[in-house]
Chains A and B, each alone.
Chain A
Amino acid sequence: DAGVTQSPTHLIKTRGQQVTLRCSPKSGHDTVSWYQQALGQGPQFIFQYYEEEERQRGNFPDRFSGHQFPNYSSELNVNALLLGDSALYLCASSSRATEQYFGPGTRLTVT
């Protein structure tokens, strides 16, 4: 049974560029949540997708957007990258109100 997968593992981008991160949820899960974890901090909630719609959003600017596909996989897009966007981006999957399980994360470095 495959767990949560994320791609790519690492990414280096330049300020002002755009990036797309991808996530496939655990089998049987239909909800995907995205988090940003800066060094030395706990994960911060970006948004959550269910039934292909953004269901809830954290305190992140509109530069952060996402999408969920019919197979429940999801993408996180970040436009106009800033140095402060450098972080570990985590995808978590769940089903309804069950526990959330994290993927391995994507380490984004903005230079």
Chain B
Amino acid sequence: QKEVEQNSGPLSVPEGAIASLNCTYSDRVSQSFFWYRQYSGKSPELIMSIYSNGDKEDGRFTAQLNKASQYVSLLIRDSQPSDSATYLCAVKSGGYNKLIFGAGTRLAVHP
């Protein structure tokens, strides 16, 4: 079992719709969770961090965390073509700041 799992996609949504990206993790003691966006040929860009169960909203983005189910999700409301990218889920592992990444979900928003 991989430590952090994501559907590879592509996830295709129409412009203006809600995109839902999911991630599961295996380490029950993980406490910190992150979503990065990566455009083709570029480096990952941090868009959300979440540490407590529940929802965290930032603009059009909402991160959801359920530690009991070991599940993290990212909702993107009013999706735009500029949101087309690969979204990487990352989990902080261990006492230091090591991040374990999933393979990423490719999102395609079509006009």
Q: Using a CB–CB distance below 8 Å, which chain A residues touch chain B?
A: 31, 33, 35, 40-45, 48, 50, 55-56, 58, 88, 90, 92, 94, 96-105
Contact = CB atoms under 8 A, between A and B. Distances in A.
Interface of B is mostly: strand
A42 B104 contact: yes
Contacts of A31: 97
The 5 closest A-B pairs by CB, nearest first: A42-B101, A102-B43, A105-B43, A56-B96, A42-B103
> How many B residues are at the interface, by size bracket?
20 to 34
B102 A42 contact: yes
A48 B98 contact: yes
Contacts of B10: none
| Interface-central residue, A42, A90, A103, by most chain B CB under 10 Å | A42
Interface of B: 4, 32, 34, 36, 42-46, 49, 88, 90, 92, 94, 96-104
A6 to B, nearest CB: 9
